[in-house]
Amino acid sequence: MISKDEVKHIAALARIGLDEKEIEKFSTDLSSILDWIEQLKEADIENVEPISHITGMENITREDKAEDFENKDGIKKMFPEEKDGYDKVKSVL
Amino acid sequence: MIRNLHNKIINKEITSEKLTLDYFDAIGKKDKDIFAYLSLTKELALEQAKKVDEKIARGEEIGILEGIPGAIKDVLCMEGVRTTAGSKILDNYIAPYDATAVKKLKEAGAVILGKTNCDEFAMGSSTENSAYGPTKNPHDLSRVPGGSSGGSAAAVAADEAVWALATDTGGSIRQPASLCGVVGLKPTYGRVSRYGLMAMASSFDQIGPFAKTVEDAAIILSEISGRDDMDATSAHSSGKRYEDYLTGEVKGMKIGIVKEYFDSLSEDMKKAMESVVESYKKMGAEIKEIQLPHSKYSLAVYYIIQPCEVSSNLARFDGIKYGLRMDDEKDTDMADLGGLDGTPRTLLETYLDTRKYGLGAEVKRRIMLGTYALSSGYYEAYYIRAQKVRALIKKDYERVFNEVDVILTPTTTAPAFKLGEKVDDPLQMYLEDIFTVTANITGVPAISVPAGTIKVEDKNLPVGFQLMGKWFDEENLLRAADAFEKSKCKNQNAK
């Protein structure tokens, strides 16, 4: 069972604001999904190596060289708030 | 269908411009009811169509896809065009570049009609999670088209597009293909570059086509596949034309079936699937019973790994660089809790409010689930365990693909369900992917092909069957799918 306090903690980690109703709903939802996932405990995973990826590829690298992106204006236009060609954000420090 | 239209264009029976306008007409007439499209790109489409017509007028040769109109799922970036991913958080987002798959289709001369509706960030199985409202199933407007690529599937089914590009993370192409009665292909993981796709779960996501026929799906795949420096997981391709492998022959091909999958179905579904198996037998394929003992864990594995990847991928939607930025200037009580130390209050409010108002319930649910599973103390029990079971599932497939060439299963357990029927029960919705999700877990290519129809409440609703192939063996997968389609066509003509 995921308590309402746990839901609030997870939401804070995930940077999602929730209202009381949502906190209640997520507490039930997440609990029932996690209960259902419990079935994985049956599987015998002794001596099994985890895989995160099916291709088995590792460390595809390229030269660390800057390339010009042609549509810079397209990116700047998407800034929620622009000042002198920069993206204006709230104070970070 | 694409080949026919191509021939008509080169024989000057129709211009690409006329063809394109006909499709916009169809959209104008039908899409008020179906709502397959979120935005139309008429100007660009007609510009592209005219280019093709000029080439024809000059007597130049054109490629097979040139001048043929189609649609793009709204999770794929298209330069200068609104790209929402079905989310309010990207309501005003104009993509500054093309996704590689979109760019390749443009280079192939395809005409793009618009961007199609989908569940928000491709999370859902009914398109009801779109922040812009649900798409309806063209076969019965009271039913869902499936999802998450419901808009793309409905557009093709309702003749509002010849083809459509979409994405499949757990079944998002194949399930709606089944429910809308069209062909839907999820290529091998790595076959198509994911650059410019709004990432949902990066180790599962793959781009693929919807089409009316297997040959059309093969043509689209030929155009979009191949290595791309912008996606490190994309694989080299030898420039194959997949449509060249469709011989209509499956004699001697070994097709694996899992008996329990068939036994679990309703009588109607079972009959539909058995008749598909019979067709293959008649064509000389060899049907073999196979065992996939760990596949029963696929959905549970998926609902750990996928939300984990979602929680990480969607962290970028925070109101800072693009999209919605919200701050209602009321201090939320969330900020009094732990895990937020060191972030200035005003900045924190921006994050919390932007994501609170910008994201829908299902997206929040998955971010929360993933954040929980990855959080300190749970990582081993959930994420690592799931990755281990994933390895077991993949081993089953490696073993079985030594014995058979393709695996045949139903695509879904039933035809399309009613709007609203499953929307309040996330678990019921997740079970929609029960037969499709394993192909994403293992990375193999898979296709849904129309099997026939089932009568529900006086309506004939389509259902599909699924074929899964060996890694990077789209040739045999498509050959098997095409052979069934051709035999069904022959039978219908004989009647």
Residue length, chain A?
93
B172 is annotated as an active-site residue: yes
Chain B from 167 to 206: CB within 8 A of any A CB: 189-190, 203
> Best interface-test mutation with A: which of B388, B398, B470 has the largest number of A CBs within 10 A?
B388
> CA–CA separation, B211 vs B381, rounded Å?
41
Compute the radius of gyration of chain B from its Cα atoms: 22
| Nearest-by-Cβ selection for B364 from A16, A78, A91 | A16
* Residue A77: inside a domain: no
| Nearest-by-Cβ selection for A50 from B235, B359, B388 | B388
Band (pLDDT 50/70/90 cuts) for residue B341 is low
Residue B136 and residue B22 in one domain: yes
Catalytic residue, candidates B16, B55, B73, B212: B73
Cα of B310 to nearest chain A Cα, Å: 11
Q: Tell me, yes or no, if B351 comes closer than 8 A to chain A by beta carbon.
A: yes
| Nearest-by-Cβ selection for A90 from B294, B346, B384 | B346
In this predicted structure, the answer to whether residue B338 has a pLDDT above a threshold of 60 is no
- All residues of chain B having their beta carbon less than 8 Å from the beta carbon of residue A54 are 189, 203, 394, 442-443, 471
Q: Tell me, yes or no, if B372 comes closer than 8 A to chain A by beta carbon.
A: yes
Per-residue pLDDT tens over the stretch B268-317: 999 999 999 999 999 999 999 999 999 999 999 999 999 999 999 999 99
Record: contact A37-B300, CB cut-off 8 A: yes
In this predicted structure, the answer to whether residue B18 has a pLDDT above a threshold of 60 is yes
Crossing angle of the two packed helices B361-374 and B298-313, in degrees rounded to 10 = 100
* Residue B434: inside a domain: yes
Q: How far is CA B69 from CA B47, B136, B211, B317, B449, in A?
A: 12, 21, 12, 32, 22
CA-based nearest residue in chain A for residue B92: A78
Domain stop point among B301, B326, B358: B358
Residue B444 and residue B336 in one domain: no
Residue B201's pLDDT is 97
Q: How far is CA B233 from CA A54, B194, B195, B218, in A?
A: 10, 9, 10, 21
Residue B19 and residue B98 in one domain: yes
> CA–CA separation, B238 vs A5, rounded Å?
54
Peptide bond into B142 cis (omega under 30): no
- All residues of chain A having their beta carbon less than 8 Å from the beta carbon of residue B81 are none
Domain stop point among B326, B358, B390: B358
How many domains is chain A partitioned into structurally?
Answer: 1
Record: contact B322-A79, CB cut-off 8 A: yes
The pLDDT > 70 percentage for chain B reads 97
Domain containing B435 — which CATH number?
3.90.1300.10
Per-residue pLDDT tens over the stretch B403-457: 999 999 999 999 999 999 998 888 899 999 999 999 999 999 999 999 999 999 9
* Residue B312: inside a domain: no
Sign of CA dihedral A29, B297, B210, B273: negative
Taking residues B102-126, what's their average pLDDT? 98
- All residues of chain B having their beta carbon less than 8 Å from the beta carbon of residue A67 are none
Q: Tell me, yes or no, if B356 comes closer than 8 A to chain A by beta carbon.
A: yes
- All residues of chain B having their beta carbon less than 8 Å from the beta carbon of residue A15 are 315, 318, 348, 351-352, 355
> CA–CA separation, B40 vs B114, rounded Å?
4
Catalytic residue, candidates B172, B178, B225, B311: B172
Q: Which of B146-155, B466-475, B483-492 has the lowest mean pLDDT?
A: B483-492
Secondary structure percentages of chain B, helix, strand, coil, to 5: 45, 15, 40
> CA–CA separation, B239 vs B248, rounded Å?
22
| Beta bridge pairs of residue B137 | B140
B55 is annotated as an active-site residue: no
Per-residue pLDDT tens over the stretch B232-264: 999 988 789 999 999 999 999 999 999 999 998
* Residue A4: inside a domain: yes
Residue B340's pLDDT is 63
| DSSP classification of residue A48 | P
Per-residue pLDDT tens over the stretch A6-18: 999 999 999 999 9
Taking residues B180-209, what's their average pLDDT? 97
Residue B334's pLDDT is 62
Chain B from 431 to 470: CB within 8 A of any A CB: 442-443
* CB burial string B223-238: b at 16+ within 10 A, e below: bbbbebeebbbbbebe
Residue A59's pLDDT is 83
How many domains is chain B partitioned into structurally?
Answer: 2
B279 is annotated as an active-site residue: no
* Residue A35: inside a domain: yes
Q: Which of B126-135, B276-285, B321-330, B436-445 has the lowest mean pLDDT?
A: B321-330
Sign of CA dihedral B298, B299, B300, B301: positive
Domain containing A13 — which CATH number?
1.10.20.60
Domain that holds residue B89: 2-254+406-494
Q: B175, B161, B191, B173: which is closest to B25 by C-alpha?
A: B161
Band (pLDDT 50/70/90 cuts) for residue A90 is confident
ipTM: 0.95
Residue A62's pLDDT is 84
Domain stop point among B358, B388, B423: B358
Please list, in sequence order, all residues whose beta carbon lies within 8 angstroms of the beta carbon of residue A63, skipping any fewer than 6 positions away: none
Residue B108 and residue B218 in one domain: yes
Record: contact B391-A50, CB cut-off 8 A: yes
Q: Mean pLDDT in chain B?
A: 95
- All residues of chain A having their beta carbon less than 8 Å from the beta carbon of residue B235 are 55
Q: Long-range contacts: B332-337, Cβ < 8 Å, 24+?
A: B332/A17, B332/B356, B334/A8, B334/A11, B334/A12, B334/A17, B334/A18, B335/A12, B337/A8, B337/A9, B337/A12
> CA–CA separation, B176 vs B76, rounded Å?
18
* Residue B392: inside a domain: no
Band (pLDDT 50/70/90 cuts) for residue B347 is confident
> CA–CA separation, B375 vs B366, rounded Å?
14
Q: Are B369 and B439 in contact (CB under 8 A)?
A: no
| Beta bridge pairs of residue B115 | B39, B72
| Nearest-by-Cβ selection for B355 from A16, A49, A60 | A16
CA-based nearest residue in chain B for residue A49: B388
> CA–CA separation, B216 vs B209, rounded Å?
9
Per-residue pLDDT tens over the stretch B405-418: 999 999 999 999 99
| Nearest-by-Cβ selection for A13 from B332, B339, B442 | B339
